[in-house]
Structures are given as structure tokens and as C-alpha cells.
Amino acid sequence: MIIVACPGQGSQTPGFLAPWLELEGVSETLARYSEAAEVDLELHGTRSDAETIRDTRIAQPLIVAASLIAAKALVNTAGKRPDGVAGHSVGEFAALTGAGVLSDEDAMRLVGIRGRAMAEAAGQTETGMSAVIGGDEATVLARLEELDLTAANYNGAGQIVVAGARPALAELATEPIRGTRVIGLPVAGAFHTTYMASAVDTLRAAVAQVEPNDPGITLWTNRDGSVVTSGTQALELIVDQVSSPVRWDLCMASFADAGITGLIELAPAGALAGLAKRGLRGTPTVAVKTPEDLDAAAELLNGAAA
């Protein structure tokens, strides 16, 4: 089983979309996505600096647009769809589109709304996120409770992303738990926590206007790593996900149970492929960062060795 993974916020880098614009039709597609999301994606994906694209209102549509463009290019190159798909955090919008639950324009419209709502929620309190690498999970969680921090992403492979007030994050970084490293992340808020409650309400109202389809390929959810077979349920889950933890560790466990034989991460790729190499040892992976990676991904999708 070949599974496509769609990355989440923090995976963007300045200029990462530039190589994709060399593909036929991508500029026109990006213009359409920009209108739907109300963000100038070509500008921000090619010329804006790291601080600009850190803005949640820009980062979220930018990442989903890149994954959608890479997904279409991959299918065109390989001549077939993957067996299954999952997205990390905002990447679930690209995953739902890949599974046929949402149209690409609906996904871009919704992710634009999500980005603006989460930016507004983040602006109410000075918060952030950090990755904790290594350490005993129970010890890490106990320390987070002491600092009033939340485990926002259980990423597997020895990585938990924590979120909360910046002074508490600073204290965690200054006095890290024994055997861990703490890395600040380029995101502007405590996503997947109760700080995002107002964004949940906004997104729920927007999602109510969408008529979803049931998934056409296997689709996993961040909620608990289970397979989602209903389009309506898939939309409910991506709304609730805004203020609940991402369980990518459980998604990877489900991939293993499903008999994964390869993982392809879509642009802007790297993070999820890295987690797979540690959490799904021996599984061939391809990170599709630029169009030059499409041939290797297509070979994997068609059953050749990576």
C-alpha cells in the first residue's frame, strides 16, 4: 500500500513554490487558488521572506496549495492515484481533496477561512509552539502539566510538539527535560489547543455550506489514526481538529497495520518523510520537494523501489 502524506504548517520555506510554476498550467491554477483563499499565493510562494510566510493567514493556504499542485502532478506522472492519503494538521485539507471529499476550490476557500480565524484567535494571547525531541513520554507530559503547556502534536518517532504561553515555552527551553531537545517552531500561535476555540466556531459555520463526497481512497484522520469512510464525518473531524491534538503517531501506527509499502510526502515536503524514516523503519519514502522528485515518487507509486 502506497500512502501519500500532506504536510502541515511550519514546512514552508521562502521561494519553495518557484520550481512548480515552471510546470504547464500551474500559474493559472495558483491564480484560481489565490482567489478562493483570498491570498496572493504566487507572491508569497516565490518572493516573500520567512517572516511573512510565517503568518498563519498566508502559511496555511500556501502549504495546501503546494500539496494540491504536487498531488495533481504526481498522478499525471504516475498515471494512477495512491492507495491512501493522510494529512498532518492543515494538510488534512489537501488529503480530503486527494480522497475526493472536497473540490480543490472548496478546500482552498475553507483553508483561507481557517487561516484567518486561527490567526485572529492567536492574536488574542501571546502563544507559540515548540518541538520536544526525545525523552520519556510520561515524563514529558508531566512536565508540560506543571508548566500549563499542551501536547498539541504527537508526531511519533520520539517527537511531541507542545503549545501554550511563550513564557512557559521559554522556561521549557531554558530547563529542558533530561534527554530532550527543545526547538522553537516558526508558527504564530498555540494551535490544536483551547486557545483556538473561536476559530472552531468560524470554520464550522463555513464547512456547513459544503456538500462533501465520501472518500474514494483510504483516508486516515488525525483525531485517532482511524480510517474515515464518510465525507460528512471527515469535515466534522477537520473542524474539531483545530483545537484538539494531532495524533500523527497513531496515523503512522495505522499505516503499519494497513501494510504500508511506501510513503510519498507532497510539497513542501521533508518533515513527514523524516518521521516515517524513524517511525516506519524500512518503509521506502520519497519527499516531493520540487518537480524533479516526481519521477522517483511515480516509480514508488507504481511499485518500483525508491
- Which residue numbers are catalytic? 89, 192
3-class SS of residue 147 = helix
Give me the residues paired with residue 3 across strands: 84, 263
DSSP state of 33: H
DSSP state of 291: G
Which among 153, 164, 150, 212 has a CA at the least distance from the CA of 8? 153
What burial letters (b/e) apply to 288-302, b meaning 16+ CB within 10 Å? bbbbebbebbbbbbe
Sequence-distant (≥ 6) Cβ neighbours of residue 224 within 8 angstroms = 247, 250
Q: How many residues does the chain have?
A: 306
Degrees, nearest 5: CA angle 265-234-259: 45
- C-alpha span between 306 and 300 (Å, rounded): 5
46, 236 contact by CB (below 8 A):
no
Residue 223 identity (one-letter amino acid): R
Residue 212 identity (one-letter amino acid): P
Which among 115, 110, 126, 116 has a CA at the least distance from the CA of 189? 126
In sequence order, which ranges of 123-165 are alpha helices (DSSP H)? Answer: 137-147
